[in-house]
Chain A
Amino acid sequence: MTQLPNTHRDVLSFVRRVQIGTIAVALCFQARAEKLDTVLAALGCLGCHADEEEQIPEPASLRRFDAKEMASLLREYREGKRSGTVMNRIAAGLTNQDIEAIAGFLGKRP
């Protein structure tokens, strides 16, 4: 199993950092409401998945994955190549575009 990252970020939680930063981009840079779709798809994940401060193995902290890993995990869940309890059901409702959007938004920046 993947190890939890043990780097301790001092700035607020990852959630807040990414949310505010990216929403600023979504709203301002592109200045197009469609970009909020991306934000919305990703925010849906945060009802269950914690940020890095949560030191529990499951459900996985989203901080563990970079965008590529996250997208391929979601696709594997969707296609039934990886079995979970809940994630197969959720991934089944996502389009390729959703998956790219979620992973791009929540995945760890390299």
Chain B
Amino acid sequence: MIRRRRFLRLLAVCGMGWGLGGCASGKGLRSGGRVVVVGGGYGGATAARYLKQMNPGLTITLIEPQETYLSCPGSNEAVAGLGDMGTLARSYDWLRRELDIGKVTARVARLDRQRRRVILNDGAEVTYDRLVLSPGIDFRWEAIMGYDEAASRFVPHAWKAGPQTALLARQIRAMPDGGLVLITAPPSPYRCPPGPYERASLIAYYLKKHKPRSKILILDAKTRFSKQPAFEQAWRELYGDMVEWVSSEKEGRLERIDAAGRTVETEFDTFRADVLNVIPPQKAGVLAEQSGLTDASGWCPVDPLSFASVYDPAVYVIGDACQADPMPKSAFSANSQAKVCAAAIVASLAGEPPPDPLLINHCYSFVAPDQAISITGVYGYSRDDGQLIVRSTGETPPHGDRRREAGYARAWQRSFKKDVFGY
């Protein structure tokens, strides 16, 4: 209660102190507008927060079917039995309480873009002036023969945090010493490019301690991967030859999966696993696809200046679902894009052009509980070709200070959630 009163007082102080009434345009911060945000993950929750903070006069409705969001960052530790799932959870209470964001716990069934309405599963409708979509990913279930949603109930993907994460963790714990963990890594683009390799590292940490004769094999649809030199260095130093990575150049295409038999067939070989983790090829969340916001790639093309869909200027797509090359699909990117998008919407509702974006991605991967590596990119916007450009990039060198980075990575997991969910 006190906090809320203080917050309102704060707004009042800002309003008077900064001369809200004296805006040149007469609109500025006071301009109202209804913004609906669909998807309360890292992209959507950040957008809702910063829209309201940039313009408290807006009415923000956040639509998300879950009461509690579970973070994927940190879920690879849960897979390896390090840390509990509770620390991954965040509620929407702070956003509701401190910022008066309307949280609707429902799934969006479809969009009526003509009438600017969002239609919920129960038939209720919500009208918007601007819509932000951050629905994350869905899987291309048709892409791998023998692996579909039904198969994922016993051969987990664990690429969305929740029951899938817990299932994979249980299987790792139950497997015999000397067993094989087989991870299939998807083709690009996909959510969290270094994620499969972080997962292999942390599982190796667990196995080395508890089941040291076991092996981890990564069958990759790619020929190289994110932070490869630093990962391979860490694997050699920490786990000897426990982790083996196989490029698609060597094994060829993934032909077929026999989920019941936990068997994977490539062009040249057959592998039988004790624990099979299939990370399937991906696309934008199906809502985006059904709403006509994706192109042939399966992802949503946007104007990177504002993240407005190229198909509809009132709809903005951020996070994993959008095409924001050369940014990777990460929580950090989603958060950075959400801030750019919020500023563009606030400007657009006030009749102003969007500001020049400066975007950052910075992803940590744990290679052991106390060692991490990272990759960083800073991105700007080129007015000449209307695209994002790389301003700088860098990654942990093979002999980088992994212990120091692990400390930063832990701090990031906490402060990042606070920037998104407020606590």
Contacts and interface: CB of A to CB of B under 8 A. Distances in A.
Interface of A: 10-12, 15-17, 19-21, 23-25, 27-29, 31-37, 39-41, 43-44, 46-50, 54, 56, 58-59, 85-86, 88-90, 92-94, 98
Contact of A44 (B18, B339, B401): B339
B359 interface: yes
A47 B408 contact: no
A50 B411 contact: yes
A92 B392 contact: yes
Nearest to A34: B355
B254 to A, nearest CB: 34
B340 interface: yes
B7 interface: yes
Given A21-B17, A33-B355, A93-B380, 8 more contacts: A19-B53, A21-B14, A24-B18, A33-B354, A40-B340, A40-B358, A47-B415, A94-B378
Interface string B347-360: 10010111111111
Q: 8 nearest interchain CB pairs? A: A93-B378, A89-B394, A93-B392, A93-B391, A36-B355, A92-B392, A33-B352, A31-B24
Contacts of A23: 29, 53-54
Contacts of A98: 358
Nearest to B356: A37
Nearest to B30: A28
Contacts of A89: 376, 378, 392-395
A50 B419 CA distance: 8
A86 B151 CA distance: 40
A15 B418 CA distance: 11
B245 interface: no
Determine chain A's interface SS by DSSP, over half rule. Answer: helix
A82 to B, nearest CB: 15
Given A12-B10, A20-B10, A86-B376, A46 B419 contact: yes
B236 interface: no
A109 to B, nearest CB: 13
A88 B394 contact: yes
Nearest to B348: A33
B292 interface: no
Contact of A43 (B14, B339, B411): B339
A41 B378 contact: no
B22 interface: yes
Contacts of A86: 362, 374, 376, 405, 408
Contacts of B395: 89
Contact of B346 (A15, A27, A37, A92): A27
A89 B340 CA distance: 21
Nearest to A88: B394
A90 B7 CA distance: 33
Contacts of A85: 374, 396, 400-401, 404-405, 408
Given A36-B343, A47-B332, A27 B54 contact: yes
Given A23-B53, A85-B396, A28 B412 contact: no
